[in-house]
Structure 1
Amino acid sequence: MRVFVLLFNAGTENEGIHTIRIGDRDKVLMFESEDDANRFALMLEAQDFPSPTVEEIDSEEIDEFCASSGYESELVPANGSLVLPPEANVDKTDWEEDKQDKPEESSAKTEESAENESPQTGEMSEDELDKIRRKLEGLL
């Protein structure tokens, strides 16, 4: 099955895949819908994150990458629940460190910190919903 993932520095030696950190685990989101992946990428940009590229790739390739790298993967179904990025981003991404420390590596990751916060909406406070509304309105 073909899915859509978010890449940073796509096609370069310093390419990185977007992950979300949940606890001490990193998770790669695989979107069934390109529109959903683009929407998530826009929300990342609204949080002053570097602009990701949405790339179509075989889900088995992502699963193999995750297994070999110690990551998890999550399929985000098309027309499913809205997936939101966590409020906090890491200050320095792994692909930025790799750029300085190990330029020969072509695969790196990018993380977002989510202190025990699920990327999917569940029960949210009014303040959190208002923040999300303002961000989404800013995109329009």
Structure 2
Amino acid sequence: MTGTMITPMRVFVLIFNAGTDNEGIHTIRVGDRNKILMFESEDDALRFALMLEAQDFPTPKVEAIDAEEIKEFCQSANYDWEIIPENSALIVPPEINVEETDWKPDAQDDSVPEKQESQQEQEFSDSELESIRRRLEGLL
């Protein structure tokens, strides 16, 4: 039997507090929507991360992840996504960052302040987030 095996497309995304309970993925705000940028090139993702750092944003870690996993995450979180082609025009972070993020840049695992919202309003439970993280780590 002959056939071709389709290799999953790997993209690079920016992760804050990688490997902690306070992990977060970088998004940009477009209108009232969040968008995850998926870079085809690790160098382009690193360049974007350095530009964020230059804007006094916490330094993200660049991680390779299967594009389909990110798309599934975006669908479940009601986020948009965009693939940034390798060698495309230089992507620059927005001049203005959100005032308050969904994650705390300096929080330790046990000292993450609780949000003042009910469990119903929270998008993902801790067990769902852990499951997503395990699936994403399994791809690496």
Fold shared by both chains (TM-score > 0.5): yes
Which of 1 and 2 has greater Rg?
Answer: 2
Picking from 38, 41, 45, the partner of 2:46 is 38
In structure 2, distance between residues paired with 1:73 and 1:56: 15
- The question of whether the paired residues in 2 share the 8 Å contact of 1:14 and 1:105 is answered with no
Match of 2:4 in 1: none
Give the aligned partner of residue 116 of structure 1: none
Aligned length: 106
Please say if 1:8 is aligned against 2:21.
no
User: What secondary structure does 1:26 align onto?
Assistant: strand
Q: Matched residues in 1 for 2:126 and 2:59: separation?
A: 21
Asked whether 1:48 is paired with 2:56, we answer: yes
**C-alpha displacement of 1:4:** 0.1
TM (norm. structure 2) is: 0.71
Query: Is structure 2 residue 81 aligned with structure 1 residue 73?
Result: yes
CA distance in 1, matches of 2:54, 2:34: 22
Do 1:26 and 1:71's aligned partners in 2 also have CA atoms closer than 8 Å? yes
Please give the per-residue CA displacement for 1:7-26, whole angstroms capped at 9, x wherever unaligned: 00001111000000010010
Identity score, percent: 67
Which structure shows the higher strand fraction?
1
- Give SS of 1:41's match: helix
Q: Distance in 2 between matches of 1:105 and 1:76?
A: 30
Tell me which of 68, 79, 85 is aligned to 1:60: 68
Match of 2:29 in 1: 21
SS of 1:83's equivalent? Answer: coil
The secondary structure found in structure 1 opposite 2:73 is helix
Q: CA deviation at 1:100?
A: 1.3
Code of the aligned partner of 1:38: L
Report the residue type matching 1:8 in the other structure. F
Higher relative contact order (CA 8 A, sep 6+): 1
The within-5 A match list for 1:89-128 is 89-96=97-104, 99-101=112-114, 105=126, 107=129
TM-score scaled by structure 1? 0.71
